Structure 1
Amino acid sequence: TQHVDGSYPGSDSDGSAERPWVTITEAVDACASGGLVAIAAGSYIEDVVVAYKAVTLWGVCPEQVEVAGTSNGDAAIVIHEGASGSAVRNLSLTGAADGLAVTGSVDVTAHQLWVHDTSAWGMVILSAYGPAAVAITDSLVEQSRQLGLLVDGSQVTIERSVIRATQPALGSNSDGFGIAAQVGCTSQGCDTSLRSAVTIRGSVVEQNHAMGVFLAGSDMLIEGSVIRFTQPDLASQMTGRGIAIQPTCDAQGICDANSRANLILRSSFVYHNHDVGLFVGGSDALVESTVIGGTLPRAAGLVTGRGVSALMACTVEAGCDPNIRSAISLQNSVVEQNHDAGIFVAGSDLAVHSTIVRDTITRPDGYFGDGIAILSKLSLSTASLSESLVDASARAGVASFGSAMSIDKTTIRCAAFALEGEDSDQHSYDFVDLGNNRCGCPDANDTCSVVSSGLAPPDPMP
């Protein structure tokens, strides 16, 4: 064990408890692989790098031990290549760069960290120098800039942690994501074979900007977690989404059909975000035993406010690609108190089973308010709805705009139009009644009948 105490007044440091080093860097340099650096209370202004050996950095507690990185370093603490098995424990990280950076090392532990008020990203786990794998537990990341946590072509598990109040990037006033995970990327481009794999369990992602959780071309499990209060992008006043997933797309907006994102969202709470609670673009999502609700309209234009939106892969630069569809399944879940549409699908495929969609209201300008709206745009959309309840929709309970939909053992209650069918984009609507469906208000005692009232569909990308 190498000891560190920045307040030691002597000039005879040797790393012992009686004559500790005064900087963490000195202790790391002296530490053998597999060794421990024990850090006493104090503020240490330095850029610590652990490379080519496994070292555990262990502070007294985050409230008493602070490592403040400088603008000369990449992060307050960097775990570089060849340092697999290293650990960072019981420390506060802040400073003029990132808080914690890991690259080229696996089996890395980040435990009881307080990463706060960094001038750049809170944590970044990169594949630039080889595979990286990190377990983040019992930690708090707050008031970072641009990104609370970036996972790039790496494996990360987050448990019992909070990532909150990420601020926009200095200068541009854009971004401020809580968590972003993507394939391995460098200045030369992205390698879609280097997918990130992220597990978020028992954690809270809140009060971030633009995106609470963003996933591109990678895999994620969110379980027993809360994603809430995401604020719009400060510069554009757009988005503010709770969770958004998409394929890997290049700078020209061309998306890779073989680099779809895959999300499993289970036993979680996605609430009071802006624009869309869960957005799926050209990717795959399974939602189980989850509540998605209270979504507020987008700040710019006061439009959307949808609970769930699943579209083809669409970008501002290149438009929508009908060949890259989304596939989303909701089971045993609740979608409630959203604006515009509870669930909206365009050019994609939806399956809803044993789920409640309720209290969908219009957006502030009085438009829309459909519980479930399925639109064929550029390509045919399909949907199946079984053993579910659609309740108290401001406009249509279930609306098919040129889409193919089957309904089985479902109740549609208290909507202006229970089942609305309209042709769209050269596609005819098609409802298949599989039986045991009921409609009406306040009691659903009537047979469900499709009407065509000339309703317009919500805009996929308003």
Structure 2
Amino acid sequence: MIRRAWFSVLLAIVLAACGSDEPSSSPEPAPDVTTVSDATASDASPTACPSGHIEAPDGECMAVGIQGCDDMFIDPETGLCDPGFSDCPPGHIPIFVGDDQGCRPVGLVGCHEDFFDVETGLCDPSLTPCPEGWMPVPTQGCVSLDPPGGCGEGTWGSVEAKAGDVYVDQGYLGGGSDGSREKPWTSISSALSAVFSGGRVVLAAGTYDEGLWLYESISLVGRCASMVTLSGVRSGAVGLTAVEVQPPGPGAAVDVVISDVRISAPAIGISVHSGARLDLQRVRFEDNTKLGLVAGLANTVVTATDILVARSAGNPDGSSEDKFVGSHGGISVQLGAMVTLHRASLEDNQGIGIYAGDEGSLAAIDDVFVTESKPRISGYLGRGIHVQAGASVSAKRVSVLDNKDIGLFVSGDESSATISDSVIARTGFNAEGSYGLGVYGIEAASLGLERSIVMESQNMGVFVRDPLTSAILTEVLVARTHPGEVGNLGLGIHAALESSLELHRCGSLDNYGAAATFYVSQGSVIDSILQGTQEAPSGNFPPADGLLIIQSSVNTNRVVARQNVRAGILYHDSDGEVQESLVTENALGLIGQGNPSPTVSGDNLVVDNDQNVFSGGSLEVADEPLVLPDLPDYE
């Protein structure tokens, strides 16, 4: 609430040149500076002027602050727009401009009630652990990986007979095997030799210790994933593999369906490449070496539904590790392949949960958990989603939780990630005690986040850097980033080193150092709330500001900066425009230091700060150069 009279309403201002080469002084306000002082709440009450206006010294009503606010955000005592996070429940952003105002839910809207944390707004599978043979799906709760009708009775369970079926039962002892339902083969290799293109190989319960090469258009169907395990190994195009899907020759086509099996082998679970097409349904990848699934080369297409990928890891002695970043983890998409993933859980994989690399590679992800990725034996990685070298990821309804190093990483020209209705939370430091970044974009990458939450990262919530790197955040909440105990930053949102960042209808809440920082960069902050920034107890970046702009060009329009320990909005050697904003309940309101300085319009409301704006005297801020951030040298 705006508690007092309008101590300073900024109409136009020449900001104090703190930090410049000129000696400190207390100059008189420039002729175009106007302040309104000693007004009372009744002087500017809604009965005297319409909502969003106060009475100016000449008696006319003057528009100040954010215009067009919904009644729920209007301070009834003043008639002015006064939005804050206290107006909305957890997991919501106050939308205070436009025709769709109100408390907007962000994050994984539609999260199943078993996983929804009402105190944070996160979609968290750890709230209701799933039983063995089930997996968490964000919108569905715990989902069985067995067929809808269960495993059924008898040798073949609920698998109905179809023309062209060839049957395998490793426990069959009757002799005279011919691949029929009554006299099945006892090995998959025998069935593969007998099945025709378009047919099915149907597996009875058992553990099949055979490495498979699938080069015909067939279906491999298990009785159910809880009863059928593929554990064999063969030497394939990418090394040791349990199942390899590959056309028989250049230019040939192959369409394979694999369903209702578990794959667990001392090898990569499935390798599909060279233009093959693979449809996966109800498949469990567990405890494989290096990767659960890898797809590679142009025209290779994988569609996967109801998939669990868990505990993929290198050899315990680290002997299987190599330097290629996409060689360890849950799912790896390389060299122009495409993977569509729907209703899945990637858990406790070593290296990276989902990797997409190389020009033309695409991963499309929907309704997926990516949780608890671990560093390699060497201490490297532990990331949730990693995109590089021209690849693209499109994700919606994804919850990326409790990973190490980086939650979402996007690197390289033409690399892009578009994330919507998702959660990236609790990203921790890697094994070396660094990174801890929720979202990180570098080297000309393109990043878009919509209606999402980035919460409780251990160093920075969102960090973009480098020339041509661009990020657009729309209706994104970045909250409770913390610096840890090793001198990291704790920043909410940070753009650096000639990158571009746009914030639209965003919220940054209860972070350390700064809610949003621009450092030698450019962008805009529009219709957003920057609130509750604290001073880092052990970080190397002490300010605690709402919006901190350093040697950058940034436009600020309809921004609420409130309850930050130091400054609400601070421009240092930076330009841009500040319009129609509310800066309140900070130690310092609106500050400009050095050259250039921003253009400030006459409709900003800077009120109820310990010191509001430069107004006939020097600001209570050190007349010395601002301490610039010591950025981590992340590769």
Give the TM-score of the pair, scaled to structure 1. Answer: 0.80
Number of residue-to-residue matches in the alignment: 387
Q: Which amino acid aligns with 2:606?
A: D
Against the structure 1 CA distance between its residues 349 and 150, is the aligned structure 2 distance closer, same or farther, given a 3 Å change threshold? same
Distance 2:289 2:527 in 1: 50
Q: Which residue of 1 aligns with 2:304?
A: 136
Deviation sequence 1:353-406 (CA, Å, 0-9, x none): 111101002xxxxxxx11111111xxxx11201111000012011111101111
Deviation sequence 1:295-340 (CA, Å, 0-9, x none): 02xxxxxxxx10000011xxxxxxxxxxx42110111110100132
Match of 1:446 among 597, 606, 630: 606
Match of 1:90 among 260, 263, 266: 260
Q: Is the 8 A contact 2:233 2:242 kept in 1?
A: yes
Distance 1:212 1:357 in 2: 22
Alignment of 1:214 with 2:386, yes or no, is yes
Deviation sequence 1:111-170 (CA, Å, 0-9, x none): 11110111221110011xx52100111010000022111101211101100011012xxx
Match of 1:350 among 493, 501, 512: 501
Alignment of 1:396 with 2:559, yes or no, is no
Against the structure 1 CA distance between its residues 449 and 88, is the aligned structure 2 distance closer, same or farther, given a 3 Å change threshold? farther
Q: Is the 8 A contact 1:311 1:460 kept in 2?
A: no
Q: Is the 8 A contact 1:358 1:391 kept in 2?
A: yes
Q: Which residue of 2 aligns with 1:383?
A: 523
Against the structure 1 CA distance between its residues 396 and 6, is the aligned structure 2 distance closer, same or farther, given a 3 Å change threshold? same
Q: Percent identity?
A: 22
What is the DSSP-based 3-state SS (H/G/I as helix, E as strand, rest coil) of the residue aligned with 1:307?
A: strand
Distance 1:71 1:456 in 2: 59
Match of 1:156 among 333, 336, 339: 339
Alignment of 1:267 with 2:267, yes or no, is no
Q: Which amino acid aligns with 2:568?
A: A
Deviation sequence 1:262-293 (CA, Å, 0-9, x none): 11110001100121101111211111000001
Match of 2:577 among 423, 432, 454: 432
How far is 1:71 from its partner? 6.1
How far is 1:441 from its partner? 4.6
Match of 1:372 among 516, 526, 549: 516
Q: Which residue of 1 aligns with 2:293?
A: 123
Distance 2:437 2:518 in 1: 16
What is the DSSP-based 3-state SS (H/G/I as helix, E as strand, rest coil) of the residue aligned with 1:224?
A: strand
Give the TM-score of the pair, scaled to structure 2. Answer: 0.59
Q: Is the 8 A contact 2:555 2:577 kept in 1?
A: yes
State the structure with bigger RCO (CA 8 A, min sep 6), 1 or 2. Answer: 2
Match of 1:181 among 356, 364, 369: 356
How far is 1:106 from its partner? 4.2
Match of 1:280 among 415, 431, 441: 441
How far is 1:72 from its partner? 4.4
Against the structure 1 CA distance between its residues 458 and 29, is the aligned structure 2 distance closer, same or farther, given a 3 Å change threshold? farther
Deviation sequence 1:12-34 (CA, Å, 0-9, x none): 22110111111112212211111
Against the structure 1 CA distance between its residues 288 and 150, is the aligned structure 2 distance closer, same or farther, given a 3 Å change threshold? same
Q: Which has the larger displacement, 136-145 or 3-12?
A: 3-12
Deviation sequence 1:149-202 (CA, Å, 0-9, x none): 1101211101100011012xxxxxxxx11111111xxxxxxxx4xx11111100
Distance 1:36 1:71 in 2: 22
Q: Which amino acid aligns with 2:494?
A: F
Q: Is the 8 A contact 1:62 1:91 kept in 2?
A: yes
What is the DSSP-based 3-state SS (H/G/I as helix, E as strand, rest coil) of the residue aligned with 1:357?
A: strand
Q: Which amino acid aligns with 1:459?
A: D
Gaps of at least 5 residues in structure 2 are 1-164, 314-327, 375-381, 429-435, 483-489, 535-543, 590-604
1:39-78 to 2 correspondence within 5 Å? 39-51=203-215, 53-70=216-233, 72=235, 74-78=240-244
Q: Which amino acid aligns with 1:80?
A: Q
What is the DSSP-based 3-state SS (H/G/I as helix, E as strand, rest coil) of the residue aligned with 1:29?
A: helix
Q: Which amino acid aligns with 1:432?
A: E
Q: Which amino acid aligns with 2:402?
A: F
How far is 1:449 from its partner? 4.3
Q: Which residue of 2 aligns with 1:170?
A: none
Alignment of 1:408 with 2:573, yes or no, is no
Distance 2:511 2:557 in 1: 21
Match of 1:23 among 165, 187, 199: 187
Distance 1:68 1:101 in 2: 14
Distance 2:342 2:455 in 1: 24
Q: Which residue of 2 aligns with 1:366?
A: none
Distance 1:455 1:31 in 2: 74
Give the superposed CA RMSD. Answer: 2.0
Q: Is the 8 A contact 1:327 1:349 kept in 2?
A: yes
Gaps of at least 5 residues in structure 1 are 168-175, 184-191, 232-239, 248-258, 297-304, 313-323, 362-368, 423-427
Q: Is the 8 A contact 1:79 1:105 kept in 2?
A: no
What is the DSSP-based 3-state SS (H/G/I as helix, E as strand, rest coil) of the residue aligned with 1:151?
A: strand
Distance 2:210 2:465 in 1: 47
Q: Which has the larger displacement, 101-110 or 274-283?
A: 101-110
Q: Which has the larger radius of gyration?
A: 2
Distance 2:426 2:501 in 1: 23
Greater strand content: 1
Q: Is the 8 A contact 2:207 2:230 kept in 1?
A: yes
Q: Which residue of 2 aligns with 1:294?
A: 456
Distance 2:277 2:584 in 1: 55
Q: Which amino acid aligns with 1:241?
A: I
Q: Which amino acid aligns with 1:165?
A: D
Q: Which residue of 2 aligns with 1:13?
A: 177
What is the DSSP-based 3-state SS (H/G/I as helix, E as strand, rest coil) of the residue aligned with 1:27?
A: helix
Q: Is the 8 A contact 1:155 1:196 kept in 2?
A: yes
1:330-345 to 2 correspondence within 5 Å? 330-339=473-482, 340-345=490-495
Distance 1:2 1:92 in 2: 19
Distance 2:522 2:613 in 1: 19
Distance 1:70 1:345 in 2: 47
